[in-house]
Amino acid sequence: MTKTQAVVIGGGATGAGILRDLAMRGVKAVLIERRDLANGTSSRFHGLLHSGGRYAVKDPESAAECVAENAVLRRIARQCVEDTEGLFVRLPEDDAAFETEWLAACRALGLPAAPLPPAEALRLEPGLTPRLAAAYRVPDAAIDGFRLCWQNVASAVRHGGELRTYTEVVAIERAGGRVAGVVVRDAVSGATSTIACDLVINAAGSWVGEVAALAGAAVDVEPDRGTLIAFNHRFAGRVVNRLRPPADGDIFVPHGSVVIFGTTSAAADNPDDTAPRGEEVNALLRLGEPLFPDLPRYRILRAFAGTRPLYTGGHGAAGRAASRTFAVLDHSREGVHGLISVVGGKLTTYRLMAEKTVDLACGKLGIAVPCRTAAEPLAAGPAPGLLAAARKYFPAGGAELAAARLGDAFGAVVGRLGDDPANAALICECERVTLGEIKEVAACATTHGLGDIRRRTRLGMGTCQGAYCGFRGVAAVCAAGLADKPAAGLLGDFLEERWAGVRPVLWGTQLREQELLRGIYGASLNIDGAMNDEQL
């Protein structure tokens, strides 16, 4: 049995932020996550760093949090944020009175919303409809939730925090009305063990209710499904919001080489209800077409869905009406001492949520160290000269991409490329992933398979969606002795992983792409036959 002060449950942005905050205040803590980091809603959202504009009118409390945290994250999470800026645009059919109300709300929040003549907005974003009635610039940005989680954890580990992925909570032990420990199962080995602790911090997002129930406590959370669509090119260079009361299908976020568009809002059957549905995709396309008239002709890479952990405690509002602010719950009021849950909120406000949660935790532990997470950057950024050295090995722009993606591990990857020129081989052209990066990530203790490698490196996540780099990546993994199962099985898993997101958008050029992929991997290489043989 191991012993620690606090066990944090849930490896999303909030849990990662809490681990970092605890570690920076000197609290001994372990973060446990049942799968890989950012497996839940922290990787199943727009990737939008809110300026606050979206909630300015209806949810000023959440909007004010966004305004403040937007500025903080630009400072501390530079390598996770792409400063695209954002536009709010109104179409002639949208209510002009809302524009007036919105402007007043932005002023009240101190949110800069600079008017932009529609002609200038069109010059900046030529894919937009020429029917624009009004446009404003706001400090929206794109944020990479996955990278944010990893860089928070990396920083936490430097401060003494501990991460255990693929570790599932099976029970929360209590003694005399207090939590005493967490029983966990290693999802890889199946072994069960107990972590004794003084505090359990429940940051399980949409699963927060299930985790609280393990300790006999309750949280009023309503998982709310949001479906999004990833397009295969960056048809907008800025975040584009429709200037109207928040509704479905009114935000476009550019991300690397793609654009993510959404969302929908519907009560989810359960927090794992993340399979996108055909009718949601079709509804989104109809809603988005007035802003980007060519939308139906763009190639869609995939659709995906996440569940928002909407907090309904007390006032009972649901869906779009529920506040996007958050709550930190002390379950001692229910007689469960030592259990804290954090619920609601936005990815944009994850750090503030962590700060408030850790304030409460430190109060209980009698620790008076102030929060420093808003002041200290997550990662130091590449050392002077390292980028210049890296440019010798990476193709155009690849060094900067890898530096942002890898955070503090960048130096080690550049070292591998220098040690052996073969490590500079480009495995994934879309995302410019080298063999050296794959080897570096494969060597991490938290890496259990090709799926982990792909999420960390973005191998196979670009516009070819693995059609070419799937073979190359698996072949490289085999050649480097990193394979944990037969190559045909690895290849099959690799291709299968994206399929659920492709099925609802399987038409047009994406259908052609999938037929090319089946031509290579099915007809020519018989991966399906080999996989099915191996299952016999």
Partner 1 sequence: MNNYDVIVVGAGLSGLIAAAAATAAGAKVMLAAKGAGTLTIGSGTIDLLGYDNAGRPVAAPAAALAALPADHPYGKLGLPAVQAAADFFLALCAAAGYPYCGTLAANRWLPTAAGTLKPACLVPATMDLAGTEDAAHVVVLAFAGLRDYRPEMVIEGLSRRPGFRGKHFSTAVVDAGFGPGRDATALDLARWLDSDAGRRECAEQLKKRLPPGCLVLLPPVLGTRPDYQAWRDLEAATGCRLVELAGIPPAVTGFRLRALFLAHLRRQGVAIHEQAPVTGAVVANGRCLAVVTGQPDRRREYRAGAFVIATGGFLGGGFESAPGAACESIFGLPLDVPADQLAWSEPRLLAARPQPFARFGLETDQDLRPIGADGRAALANVHFAGPNLAGYDYSCEKSGNGVALVSGYHAGTAAGEGRA
Structure tokens at 52: 């606050």
495 SS3 class? helix
Closer to partner 1 at the Cβ: 27 or 476? Answer: 476
Task: Work out how close the CB of 463 gets to partner 1 at its nearest, in angstroms, rounded to a whole number.
Answer: 17
Closer to partner 1 at the Cβ: 377 or 529? Answer: 529
Task: Work out how close the CB of 278 gets to partner 1 at its nearest, in angstroms, rounded to a whole number.
Answer: 4
In 118-250, which ranges are E strands? 134-138, 141-143, 162-164, 167-175, 178-186, 192-196, 199-202, 221-231, 239-242
Residue whose pair of structure tokens reads 């994250």 in the numeric block: 73
CA distance 480 to 453: 14
CA distance 448 to 288: 39
Task: Work out how close the CB of 36 gets to partner 1 at its nearest, in angstroms, rounded to a whole number.
Answer: 21
254 SS3 class? strand
What secondary structure letter does DSSP report for 465? T
112 SS3 class? coil
93 SS3 class? coil
Structure tokens at 536: 């016999």
Closer to partner 1 at the Cβ: 120 or 515? Answer: 515
Q: Which of 220, 217, 211 is closest to 170 using CA atoms?
A: 211
Structure tokens at 523: 């007809």
214 SS3 class? helix
Task: Work out how close the CB of 45 gets to partner 1 at its nearest, in angstroms, rounded to a whole number.
Answer: 23
Closer to partner 1 at the Cβ: 77 or 477? Answer: 477
Q: Which of 309, 66, 36 is closest to 153 using CA atoms?
A: 36
Task: Work out how close the CB of 39 gets to partner 1 at its nearest, in angstroms, rounded to a whole number.
Answer: 20
Closer to partner 1 at the Cβ: 140 or 513? Answer: 513
Task: Work out how close the CB of 525 gets to partner 1 at its nearest, in angstroms, rounded to a whole number.
Answer: 4
Structure tokens at 160: 């003494």
Residue whose pair of structure tokens reads 């949601």 in the numeric block: 280
Binding site for partner 1 (CB under 8 A): 277-278, 281-282, 285, 296, 421, 425, 468, 471-472, 474-476, 478-479, 483, 486-488, 491-492, 495-496, 499-500, 502-508, 511-512, 514-516, 518-533
Closer to partner 1 at the Cβ: 216 or 486? Answer: 486
CA torsion angle 19 25 26 27 (round to 10):
-50
Structure tokens at 46: 């727009």
Task: Work out how close the CB of 283 gets to partner 1 at its nearest, in angstroms, rounded to a whole number.
Answer: 11
Task: Work out how close the CB of 317 gets to partner 1 at its nearest, in angstroms, rounded to a whole number.
Answer: 32
CA distance 523 to 517: 9
Closer to partner 1 at the Cβ: 220 or 429? Answer: 429
Q: Which of 152, 178, 166, 159 is closest to 80 using CA atoms?
A: 152
Within 10 angstroms of residue 100's Cβ, the number of other Cβ atoms is: 10
Task: Work out how close the CB of 486 gets to partner 1 at its nearest, in angstroms, rounded to a whole number.
Answer: 7
Q: Residue 304 belongs to what H/E stretch?
A: strand 300-311
103, 155 contact by CB (below 8 A): no
Closer to partner 1 at the Cβ: 243 or 428? Answer: 428
Closer to partner 1 at the Cβ: 242 or 472? Answer: 472
CA distance 301 to 281: 12
Give CA separation, 317 vs 270, 311, 312, 324, 444, in Å. 18, 9, 6, 11, 43
Closer to partner 1 at the Cβ: 276 or 382? Answer: 276
Closer to partner 1 at the Cβ: 111 or 430? Answer: 430
Task: Work out how close the CB of 191 gets to partner 1 at its nearest, in angstroms, rounded to a whole number.
Answer: 29
175 burial level (CB within 10 Å; 0-12, 13-18, 19+)? exposed
Closer to partner 1 at the Cβ: 29 or 390? Answer: 390
336, 215 contact by CB (below 8 A): yes
Task: Work out how close the CB of 489 gets to partner 1 at its nearest, in angstroms, rounded to a whole number.
Answer: 10
Residues with Cβ within 8 Å of 237's Cβ and at least 6 positions away in sequence, in order, are: 84, 124, 125, 254
Residues with Cβ within 8 Å of 155's Cβ and at least 6 positions away in sequence, in order, are: 20, 23, 24, 376, 378, 379
Task: Work out how close the CB of 524 gets to partner 1 at its nearest, in angstroms, rounded to a whole number.
Answer: 5
Closer to partner 1 at the Cβ: 251 or 482? Answer: 482
167, 15 contact by CB (below 8 A): no
Task: Work out how close the CB of 477 gets to partner 1 at its nearest, in angstroms, rounded to a whole number.
Answer: 9
Closer to partner 1 at the Cβ: 458 or 472? Answer: 472
